[in-house]
């Protein structure tokens, strides 16, 4: 009886093992099916169609397109494949035609020719220091797909910015010189015969000479709106003297 019982137990163990193996096989098959479904749900198929209109010359031509299959986004309006988002989806669909080419071969070649010509014209304008014209040419060449145009567009923008800053600095130098004349008129209008001289690097120094300049005048001048205004104008030093032995200067770094 004991022998029969042991044989029965062995049979049960074998049956149990076979069930476990079957479950494992089923799990593996399910996993593979899911993996294949995930891959297939984000696939790209290439097909030929003949109803594409060239965006330049408007002629109909046969173009390679990609039909993209993927998953919905949260709003269920756009198709997502990997990290790319494609266009609008119709309700109940999971694919969209994404055009690889929207230009016919003739227009593609013509764009290349036009882009190269624009790029060359941009280089000529750059060499002549006509940077505004060069920028326009490089922009147009870049928009037509000429790769080298972007680097030259960046260089041209830096030149334009440098010229702009130089012109602004020059304008400020001229403005400070003119400010000296206005300041002289201001003092005379207020009954003070203060002489004004604008000098120094880039006209950043101003010297005010007046026989009544002393500690009281300097004290009040330092607290005045005029002193702040001169600082905002870009003056770095203001010299105050009475024309004899009294002198004082205000400076900003």
The number of distinct structural domains making up the chain is: 4
Q: Summarize pLDDT for 219-252 with one digit per residue, the tens.
A: 999 999 999 999 999 999 999 999 999 999 999 8
Where among 103, 120, 154 does a domain terminate? Answer: 103
Predicted structure pTM score:
0.55
Lowest-confidence segment of 75-89, 93-107, 191-205, 213-227 by average pLDDT? 75-89
Whether 177 is covered by a domain: the verdict is no
Q: How many CA atoms lie within 13 A of 16 on its CB side?
A: 6
Quote the pLDDT of residue 39: 41
In a domain, 176, yes or no: no
Which two structure tokens, joined as six digits, stand for 82? 């990997």
Q: 42 and 33 in contact (C-beta within 8 Å)? A: no
Q: In sequence order, which ranges of 41-147 are alpha helices (DSSP H)?
A: 105-127, 131-143
50: left (phi over 0), alpha (psi -120 to 50) or beta: alpha
Q: What is the pLDDT of residues 109-160, one digit of tens each?
A: 888 888 899 999 999 999 999 999 999 999 999 888 888 888 999 999 999 9
CA 203 to CA 111: how far, in whole Å? 52
137 and 89, same structural domain?
no
Q: Which of 88, 103, 118 is the last residue of a domain?
A: 103
What pLDDT, on the 0 to 100 scale, is given for residue 146?
Answer: 85
Residue for token digits 């929207």? 102
Residue 187: inside a domain: no
Percent of all residues in the chain with a pLDDT value above 70, rounded to a whole number:
62
Q: Closest Cα to residue 179, out of 212, 205, 217? A: 205
Distance CA 144, CA 158 (A): 22
E strand or H helix at 171, and its extent?
Answer: helix 148-189
Together in a domain, 133 and 115? yes
DSSP, collapsed to helix, strand or coil, labels residue 106 as helix
Question: Is residue 49 in a domain?
Answer: yes
Within this chain, do residues 50 and 25 fall inside the same structural domain, yes or no? no
Domain containing 28 equals: 1-40
Whether 94 is in a domain gets the answer yes
Specify whether the CB–CB gap between 113 and 82 falls below 8 A.
Answer: no
Look at 153 and 54; give whichever has higher pLDDT. Answer: 153
Candidates 170, 168, 195, 167; CA nearest to 183 is: 195
């Amino acid at each position: 009886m004991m022998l029969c019982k042991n044989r029965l137990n062995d049979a049960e163990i074998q049956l149990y093992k076979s069930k476990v193996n079957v479950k494992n096989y089923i799990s593996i098959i399910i996993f593979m099916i899911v993996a294949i479904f995930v891959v297939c749900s984000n696939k790209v198929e290439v097909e030929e169609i003949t109803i594409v209109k060239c965006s330049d010359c408007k002629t109909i031509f046969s173009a390679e397109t990609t039909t993209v299959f993927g998953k919905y986004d949260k709003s269920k309006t756009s198709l997502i494949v990997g990290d790319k988002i494609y266009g609008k989806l119709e309700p109940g669909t999971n694919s969209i035609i994404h055009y690889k080419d929207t230009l016919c071969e003739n227009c593609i070649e013509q764009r290349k020719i036009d882009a190269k010509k624009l790029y060359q014209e941009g280089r000529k304008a750059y060499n002549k220091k006509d940077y505004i014209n060069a920028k326009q040419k490089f922009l147009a060449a870049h928009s037509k797909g000429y790769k080298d145009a972007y680097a030259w567009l960046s260089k041209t923008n830096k030149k334009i910015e440098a010229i702009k800053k130089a012109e602004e600095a020059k304008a400020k130098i001229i403005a400070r010189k003119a400010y000296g004349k206005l300041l002289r008129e201001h003092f005379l209008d207020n009954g003070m015969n203060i002489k004004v001289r604008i000098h120094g690097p880039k006209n950043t120094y101003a010297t005010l000479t007046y026989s009544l300049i002393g500690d009281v005048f300097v004290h009040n001048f330092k607290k005045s709106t005029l002193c702040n205004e001169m600082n905002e104008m870009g003056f770095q030093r203001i010299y105050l003297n009475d024309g004899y032995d009294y002198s004082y200067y205000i400076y900003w770094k």
